[in-house]
Structure 1
Amino acid sequence: MPYRNAFPPASAAGSRVGPLDGLDVIEVFGPQSCDIGRAAVSFAGMLAARMGARVKRVQPEGGDPMRNWAPLMADGSSAASRFLLDSKQLVDSPAEQEPGSYLLTDDAGVAEQWGNLRKVLVRSSFESDRRAQSELTIQAVSGLLDIVGEAGRPPLALPGYQMAYATGLTAFSALLALHCSQLFAGKSQSAQVAASEVATWLNWKHGMSSVSGVRETGVNRQEEWEVVRCRDGFVAAIFRDRDMPALARLMRSTRLEAEEFKVLKVRANHLGELRSIIADALVDRSRDEIVAEAQSLGLPFSAVLPPREVIDDPQMHYREFFERDGGVLSPRLPVLWNGYPLTQAVREYSWRTL
């Protein structure tokens, strides 16, 4: 699809007010703060700021360690820091608490000293020993590492700040709930979020499967869905029982029309042959060719795109999903407000004009 401007110009959207206009949030860190907590709090605050809230971030003494977090841009700045911090007002010292403001922190001492109940405390876990946690350990204690990787190899951790961002999204949801309680019931309340619980909650289906005895779980599980090599990369091959006739057509294989491939319970006994048929059928075909034919047959196949291709994807251009701020490319929020993207360009116009 050729690129075209998908949304009204910023000047047209400038008269619109952000959904969280009027909400005041303060991010504060302390001696008990840790990397996963900093990232989670920063992500929650970033979401609030990009939706129109006024977010102040108190800079820690000695500087913000997130300024040095990898990956680094060509100018030496941290991409993670730019993504999480640039939408906020940075202040050097804690100002006097403003009426109606909400606290975001991952330090229990800071939360305890806060003057009212309007606060969200992010913790690594609720364990009494308060041992240090990280992205890797949170994935480990939640059971997530047990399903990521290959048999015979150590589990592979998800890259980046996946657990922190999921925890930050949960903290943001808690912040909105507190704000709704204040607005509609006149009640000030507080909330706590633990990264270990968020990760376990996200992964609950794996936990339930492992105790139900329904199927084998973990890295040794037998899965028919897989990523398959093709001529110019990889495709994700997804199908269900009802899709087997279409899969047979896509693979040019009458063998897949046999009784032993019609339903999963029986097909599971022939996974080696199934994988071999799919691999042989796709290895010399291009991603685009495979995906186009699969879609025409109603099969939810997809090309496996590296990050560079995601950024250059015509649909992403059409949706104006990536934006540049001072030369740094970052994604806008994956939501439209009254049909408009909440971008930096829109924020530079009058958020406060009704």
Structure 2
Amino acid sequence: MTSRGGPLSRVVVVEAIGPDAPDALGHAAGLCGRMAADLGATVIRLAPSGKSETGVFLHHGKRLIATTAEDFLRHVAIHGAGADALICDSGTHAHLSLGPQTIAVLIGMSLDEPLRGSELTAEARCGLLDLIGDPDRAPLRLAGHQLAYSAGLSAYLGLVAALTQRDAGRPAGPVHVDLLDVGVWLNWKALSTAARTGQSPMRPGAKAEWTIVPCRDGYVALVYRIQEWTSLKVATGDARLADPRFETVARRSQNRAELNAILADIFAGKTRAEIRTMALSHKLPLGPVWTPEELKRDPHMIERGYFQPVTVDGQVLAMPSLPVLWNGRAFPPGGFAHAAQDNRTISG
């Protein structure tokens, strides 16, 4: 294979999540492999052929070896034997005998049930579902694949740490990452709150301290800290916020539903641009909700180079860059991949 350049240019990674494993493990492994590919690693993905929008994002810059359920383990044994790292699930790993030079990165749902569940059940078990939604309605899952991608980031960090250990001549791996463990880490504030108060946070609904409300041309996230309450009152100029019911933190908490209703009424008549200007001038962290197309035109995103042009099947797409730095340097999506090899299928 042609040299790709980059800090991981000498590293070969095989990504192999079994056909019967939960989809969340594929998303986590996919992001881990995508990060390695962006840094120059040769990432070989063993999976059935086929594409999706999520797959275009996760697997850009990788090489696909199309497999079936019947020949999957044979391909893993062949390609995993000469790899520097194998990203897989515990079920796949149990059928293999890897050499000492190959680092196993094992991704599971939980320590007790590594191959059972989904992102929804993992979010429920770790308490993340208690952060959003209304207590009188059905639970809401977090948008997108936030938990799986967080696990993928953890797996990537473990992979790089293990490679560093190996290159230093020290024992390396295996790396173990469970979505449930990652979810508990993400939800650490709930644990500290439960330890301090004796009660776990529950879905607040209309009484949420921070909420999202409609505005004239979309939505805005009303996020503000205790010390920013006075600035919020000044910025809005609405006399209703001077009501004694909202004078202290305790009173605002007791009357949260009424306060949120007033704030929703205040912002309903403002555009997102007006809200953003107001927030910046008063140093408030209010967050207008932008569409993906609007984000591509956002000056902040443009300045940071968050979206990078990539060519997929002859079409130029705007691909989000990943949160990975190497010695302070950022890398574009698939920046070291050869265009003719991106997402290509290798028969074998």
If the TM-score is normalised by the length of the shorter chain, which range does it land in?
Answer: 0.7 to 0.9
Structure 2 letter corresponding to 1:139: E
The whole-number CA distance in structure 2 between the counterparts of 1:143 and 1:152 is: 17
The correspondence for 1:342, drawn from 323, 332, 340, is 332
Q: 2:320 matched to which residue of 1? A: 331
Instruction: Indicate if the aligned counterparts of 1:25 and 1:54 stay in contact, CA closer than 8 A.
Output: yes
The correspondence for 1:106, drawn from 65, 68, 89, is 89
Aligned-pair CA distance for 1:208: 3.1
The correspondence for 1:266, drawn from 251, 269, 273, is 251
Distance 1:236 1:215, change over 3 A: farther
The whole-number CA distance in structure 1 between the counterparts of 2:335 and 2:173 is: 34
Q: What is the aligned-residue identity percentage? A: 31
Of stretches 300-309 and 332-341 in structure 1, the one that deviates more from structure 2 is 332-341
Aligned-pair CA distance for 1:130: 5.2
Of stretches 340-349 and 324-333 in structure 1, the one that deviates more from structure 2 is 340-349
The Cα offsets for residues 51-90 of structure 1, whole Å up to 9 and x where unpaired, read as: 111212234xxx34xx2xxxxxxxxx41122222231123
The correspondence for 1:18, drawn from 6, 17, 22, is 6
TM-score by length of 2: 0.80
Aligned-pair CA distance for 1:18: 1.8
TM-score by length of 1: 0.79
Counting matched residue pairs gives 319
RMSD: 2.9
The whole-number CA distance in structure 1 between the counterparts of 2:154 and 2:335 is: 27
The correspondence for 1:238, drawn from 198, 223, 240, is 223
1:65-104 to 2 correspondences below 5 Å: 67=50, 77-91=51-65, 93-94=75-76, 95=78, 101-104=84-87
The correspondence for 2:26, drawn from 38, 59, 67, is 38
Q: 1:180 matched to which residue of 2? A: 164
The whole-number CA distance in structure 2 between the counterparts of 1:345 and 1:36 is: 26
The Cα offsets for residues 95-131 of structure 1, whole Å up to 9 and x where unpaired, read as: 365657111111434354222362111111111x656
1:183-222 to 2 correspondences below 5 Å: 183-213=167-197, 217-220=201-204, 222=207
* Structure 1: unaligned runs, 5 residues or longer: 1-15, 68-76, 350-354
The whole-number CA distance in structure 2 between the counterparts of 1:170 and 1:345 is: 22
Q: Partner of 1:268: helix, strand, or coil?
A: helix
The Cα offsets for residues 332-351 of structure 1, whole Å up to 9 and x where unpaired, read as: 223455555424455449xx
The correspondence for 1:247, drawn from 223, 232, 235, is 232
Of stretches 174-183 and 239-248 in structure 1, the one that deviates more from structure 2 is 239-248
The whole-number CA distance in structure 2 between the counterparts of 1:167 and 1:314 is: 30
Distance 1:348 1:336, change over 3 A: farther
Structure 2 letter corresponding to 1:56: I
The correspondence for 1:280, drawn from 265, 273, 289, is 265
Of stretches 140-149 and 93-102 in structure 1, the one that deviates more from structure 2 is 93-102
Structure 1 letter corresponding to 2:332: L
Structure 2 letter corresponding to 1:126: L
Q: Partner of 2:168: helix, strand, or coil?
A: helix
Q: Partner of 2:140: helix, strand, or coil?
A: coil
Distance 1:277 1:82, change over 3 A: closer
The whole-number CA distance in structure 2 between the counterparts of 1:204 and 1:245 is: 29
Q: 1:352 matched to which residue of 2? A: none
The whole-number CA distance in structure 2 between the counterparts of 1:258 and 1:216 is: 30
Q: 1:150 matched to which residue of 2? A: 134
Structure 2 letter corresponding to 1:244: W
